[in-house]
Structure 1
């Protein structure tokens, strides 16, 4: 009897795995199609400026406070560890250079990833998902209004712009947090910290970080819009889509971060 139950459970697992393998390419293809449609409608008039401003304000409202609460302690502890390493090799005077490289090149975009995917894109997905289960999206299609043009394009552009803004905010706040950790927690010289920031960090690094943030915001917005417009199963489906938005956004954003960083270093 136990052998029959084990064989039955094994066959069920194999069936589930094969079903997942069949569904995955379709999901990737559907996301690719939604992305292409969104890019195509970005250059089609009219541009819904009011919707763009409302969504930018909405995403900024749910993202700014988490950004500040994450950036300050995260950057302080990261710089604190860097300074310990620099003290071991006798290079404490380069504390600002280490902080600038770490915060501007990597920490700023990474914190932006966490905030945009964890707060902004989930809110967008929940909004579109609730519209979908209330059949508002179907009503728009009946009236001849394309939901991608009317809803997705302003949200993707708003997510992109706010991600760039958040990246600059994280860089500024992070450098202040690094100053606090270096000067007040480890007793280093304020002048050494400030003057050494520009040794290894320049405007080019900040521009690369802003490009990263723009790509991150665009990808997070595309994932949120795609999953929100394809919700199935009522309120439970909306909750599942929000969870999937976080997971898929993190995967795409960290993959994009690795690719952009590798290309920028070469």
Structure 2
């Protein structure tokens, strides 16, 4: 019995590992095939414009509503400690550095995945269960080139464009708490906000947002194109794409941040 139980467990682990590696391979194929036709801009440019407009429309207001209280919350937590240490003017620097380095790309990616990515998955999944993807293949139209490529570039573009919005809104929330409530002068707030930042911080943040946008679009398109051909399958694909995107974004963010801090250690005040 013990040997049979171990064999069943081993077989289950082998099947699960094979399934996982198969899914990773399918994701890689869709991503690479989507990039392969990037040069042929004429075939996907208008779809790209439509997807950019759609993503900007569904994410702009939510990202503002998230960033304002987020900046105020960071200022509240950091400001109380800084006030006890007699360095309340340093709150602006802590808030803006945190927004630029970590909060802005993460908030942008999560909004793209949660609001835009779920809509992408449901749209492509609906096309899948109506056999539109198969019909495109019959008509010699590659569905990956037609649907995935513009969504990859639209998600990455809008993710980058949301970063300044997050930074400005979050800094505004921190300004309200630090200046209006705590009484710190505006000059001290903004001087501290820019004293610790360097150009590479913003460049790495934009690069993170760009990568995260690609991840969100790839996961959304993959789960939409491989979902079960039923409404329940589409719903499960939306849930799976959002969860997997969040996990990958946090993992990739950790790797990029670690490499960046090793290459460019933070400078002292």
Tell whether the 8 Å contact from 2:128 to 2:229 is kept in structure 1 after alignment: no
- Where does residue 154 of structure 2 map in the other structure? 158
Residue 194 (structure 2) pairs with residue 198 (structure 1): yes
Tell whether the 8 Å contact from 1:122 to 1:246 is kept in structure 2 after alignment: yes
Q: CA deviation at 1:259?
A: 1.3
CA distance in 2, matches of 1:76, 1:14: 51
Residue 124 (structure 2) pairs with residue 108 (structure 1): no
Tell whether the 8 Å contact from 1:95 to 1:192 is kept in structure 2 after alignment: no
Q: CA deviation at 1:85?
A: 2.0
Please say which of residues 196-205 and 237-246 is displaced more in the overlay.
Answer: 196-205
Q: CA RMSD in A?
A: 2.0
CA distance in 2, matches of 1:262, 1:47: 39
Residue 141 (structure 2) pairs with residue 145 (structure 1): yes
Secondary structure class of the residue paired with 1:42 = coil
CA distance in 1, matches of 2:121, 2:50: 16
Number of residue-to-residue matches in the alignment = 260
Cα displacement string for residues 51-89 of structure 1 (whole angstroms, at most 9, x for unaligned residues): 000011111111112111111111110121111222232
TM-score by length of 2: 0.90
Query: Unmatched 5+ residue regions in structure 2?
Result: 264-269
Alignment of 1:179-198 (within 5 A): 179-198=175-194
CA distance in 2, matches of 1:245, 1:70: 21
Secondary structure class of the residue paired with 1:46 = helix
TM-score by length of 1: 0.91
Q: CA deviation at 1:19?
A: 3.5
Tell whether the 8 Å contact from 1:41 to 1:148 is kept in structure 2 after alignment: no
